[in-house]
Amino acid sequence: MYEKKRGNPMRDVILKRVYRHFKGDCYLVEDVARHSETGEEYVVYRKLYGDGSLWIRAAGYPQQGRT
């Protein structure tokens, strides 16, 4: 598995890394996307429970610990 770092005002996001939310659920960071009009960066992540759906969150949003 590869690791690719993207700069983030709060911290570095490591792609293809599993992060654990403070409530205990795990998420896989899939990629970083950019908003077409504002240029704002978003982290694209997948829930590793339930339906496994994809979600996005602003890249500046504080992250939880990684596993």
Q: Nearest Cα to 27, choosing from 47, 42, 44, 13?
A: 47
Which tens digit of pLDDT belongs to each residue from 14-65? 899 999 988 899 999 999 999 999 999 999 999 999 999 999 999 876 555 5
| Band of residue 1 on the pLDDT scale cut at 50, 70, 90 | very low
Statement: residue 10 has pLDDT above 60: no
Please provide residue 34's backbone torsions phi and psi, each rounded to the nearest 5 degrees. Answer: -120, 135
Domains in the chain with CATH codes? 5-58 (2.30.30.320)
Per DSSP, helices labelled H in 1-67 are none
Instruction: Give pLDDT, residue 16.
Output: 93
40 with 56: CB under 8 angstroms?
no
Cα–chain center distance at 65:
12
The rounded distance, in Å, linking the Cα atoms of 38 and 4 is 24
Instruction: Please tell me which residue, 3 or 48, carries the higher pLDDT value.
Output: 48
> Rounded to two decimals, what is the model's pTM?
0.70
